[in-house]
């Protein structure tokens, strides 16, 4: 009897799982990943995180699923970049428009901290709740820059750095003790553009006038009762109360990412034409993708990304390529290698569509600019068309420490990159010649890729960082949207069905990852590895001088808006 009862209960549970109403959940406290793990370390670190593509795809499918009644999202914990938040937010808006319930709740939207971006995400939901002990840290956008010139001067450290041009502020933290006029102008417009986006979204989501949202930002942060009175949240509730009020007793809870995986994926039939999806994330470096064993995040290796695009170009089943870029830039030569593969793919008759993530600037813009169409979110940080280079001079500091250095060299400039002495006039002239060459090449390729006069490209360059919204208005990107929009555009341009399969490139099984590549044309040449260097032969020099490890086409510091 016990065995029979157990079987009956098991069958009943299976039937319930197939037929009961569903309430989808999304827990953002661990954050999201934007790309499949490129190496074992990345796979381990992202084990508990859902994939952005699963969340977006799951919500798209759920809009048409009558079993799905609503979505409950816990917001907080791991910060998300603004562009990723906007991608999730758009998916929630469409899900809500399909007549589904949407509920956002949080322990706190910023605990004695700025919670503007998390609250901006919550404002897209029909119902917004806050734990009674929580707060709404709606305080606006602040972009802070620290300057080390004074401290370095006290240590007898000098910096010789050239940059092209006035908005390329990567080295300013070493060479200035305040924002230059250009630096302040650029940063001010970034803060203004981002605030415009946040205000518009919150006003629309909460049914408030934009002017009122501006006033609330100036009055924040808010404790719970104040947030309710201001119309920012609908009530103060603990988790159990939120679920008791909005989850029907006969429904099942299921995470969005798990729901997305319950659908049978549309696998390409033999010979069926597909869209290739290539992910490029992290600082751009020479060699293969991967991450440093000492931390610092993933890196986009030119050999890996070039091999992936090349494999897609040579595959007769691939009709178009979507290149997802989320990078602050890095090595100029590595960026140029990837740019070349984009050009070759287009020459082969395969449209290339770029989808920008949180940041696609400097080298991240370099690898994107040749695409047929570029999509960005309004809050994406992009542009920064410029270059910098130079060195720190540590001779004074070493002398104060009692450390002496001698160089024996053959060649007038053999020791020009030594950190113990400044450049000579002729050496500094060579550095500036290199900076001019890189900058001119960058601007020329922007003009070529974006179909604009060089003078126009130059006016948008000069190292200036733009939001995606401003970049679209200026012609540096084509459309505002996310990865789903880019995939739809790729299918359209390739003449494929709206549900044509998408295949990640390179598609390499675990056994192939263990095997050495037969040649540089072998798809296993696109595998990632653990790596360190980014400046090529100048890697040790750059590390010693405290220059950004990624390379000369890179944004300084943390530029993701959270």
Whether 13 is catalytic = no
**Is the previous residue joined to 486 through a cis bond, with omega within 30 degrees of 0?**
no
DSSP, collapsed to helix, strand or coil, labels residue 476 as coil
What's 523's DSSP letter?
Answer: G
CA distance 5 to 222: 54
CB 130 within 8 A of CB 108: yes
**Two tokens at 561?**
């808006």
CB 346 within 8 A of CB 369: no
**What is the total residue count of the chain?**
562
What's 273's DSSP letter?
Answer: -
CA distance 554 to 548: 8
Task: Indicate if the alpha-carbon torsion angle 356, 361, 367, 371 is positive or negative.
Answer: positive
| Strand residue runs (E) in 205-312 | 222-223, 235-236, 252-255, 274-281, 283-285, 290-291, 298-301
The tokens 């159990």 sit on which residue?
A: 240
Strands 158-164 and 274-281, sheet pairing: unpaired
Per-residue DSSP letters for 48-69? TSEEHHHHHHHHHHHHT-TTEE
From 362, 368, 384, 419, active-site residue: 362
CA 300 to chain CA mean position, Å? 12
Whether 184 is catalytic = no
From 100, 168, 237, 445, active-site residue: 168
Active site members? 168, 362
């Amino acid at each position: 009897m016990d065995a029979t009862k157990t079987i009956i209960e098991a069958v009943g549970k299976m039937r319930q799982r197939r037929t009961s109403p569903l309430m989808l959940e999304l827990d953002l406290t661990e954050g999201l990943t934007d790309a499949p793990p490129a190496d074992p370390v990345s796979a381990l670190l992202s084990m508990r995180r859902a994939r952005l593509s699963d969340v977006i795809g799951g919500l798209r499918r759920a809009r048409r699923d009558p079993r799905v009644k609503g979505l409950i999202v816990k917001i907080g914990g791991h910060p998300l970049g603004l562009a990723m938040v906007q991608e999730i937010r758009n998916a929630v808006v469409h899900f809500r428009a399909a007549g589904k319930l949407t509920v956002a709740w949080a322990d706190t939207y910023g605990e004695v901290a700025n919670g503007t971006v998390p609250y901006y995400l919550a404002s897209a939901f029909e119902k917004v709740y806050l734990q009674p002990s929580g707060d709404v840290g709606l305080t606006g956008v602040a972009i802070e820059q620290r300057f080390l010139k004074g401290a370095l001067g006290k240590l007898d450290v000098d910096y010789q750095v050239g940059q092209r041009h006035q908005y390329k502020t990567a080295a300013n933290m070493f060479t200035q003790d305040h924002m230059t006029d250009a630096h302040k102008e650029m940063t001010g417009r970034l803060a203004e553009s981002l605030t415009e986006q946040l205000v518009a979204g919150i006003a629309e989501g909460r049914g408030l006038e934009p002017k009122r949202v501006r006033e609330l930002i100036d009055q924040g942060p808010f404790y719970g009762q104040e947030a309710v009175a201001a119309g920012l949240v609908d009530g103060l509730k603990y988790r159990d109360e939120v679920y008791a009020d909005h989850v029907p007793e006969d429904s099942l809870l299921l995470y969005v990412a798990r729901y997305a995986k319950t659908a049978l994926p549309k696998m390409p039939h033999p010979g069926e034409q597909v869209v290739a999806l290539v992910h490029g994330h992290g600082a751009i470096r020479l060699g293969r993708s991967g991450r440093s064993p000492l931390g610092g995040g993933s890196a986009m290796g030119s050999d890996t990304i070039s091999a992936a695009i090349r494999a897609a170009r040579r595959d007769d089943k691939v009709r178009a390529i979507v290149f997802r870029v989320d990078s602050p830039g890095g090595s100029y030569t590595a960026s140029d290698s990837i740019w070349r593969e984009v050009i070759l793919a287009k020459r082969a008759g395969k449209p290339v569509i770029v989808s920008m993530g949180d940041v696609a600037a400097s080298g991240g813009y370099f690898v994107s600019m040749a695409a047929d169409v570029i999509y960005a979110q309004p809050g994406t940080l992009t542009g920064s068309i410029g270059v910098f280079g130079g060195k720190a001079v540590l001779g004074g500091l070493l002398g104060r420490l009692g450390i002496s250095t001698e160089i024996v060299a053959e060649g007038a400039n053999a020791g020009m990159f030594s950190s113990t002495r400044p450049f000579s006039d002729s050496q500094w002239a060579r550095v500036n010649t290199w900076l001019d060459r890189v900058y001119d090449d960058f601007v020329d390729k922007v003009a070529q890729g974006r179909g604009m006069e060089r003078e126009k490209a130059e006016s948008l360059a000069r190292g200036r960082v733009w939001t995606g919204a401003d970049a679209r208005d200026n012609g540096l990107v084509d459309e505002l949207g996310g990865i789903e929009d880019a995939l739809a555009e790729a299918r359209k341009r390739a003449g494929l069905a709206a549900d044509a399969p998408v295949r990640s490139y390179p598609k390499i099984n675990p056994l192939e990852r263990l095997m050495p590549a037969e040649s540089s044309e072998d798809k296993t040449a696109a595998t990632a590895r653990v790596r360190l260097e980014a400046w090529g032969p100048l890697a040790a020099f750059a590390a010693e001088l405290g220059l950004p490890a990624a390379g000369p086409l890179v944004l300084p510091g943390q530029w993701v808006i959270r």
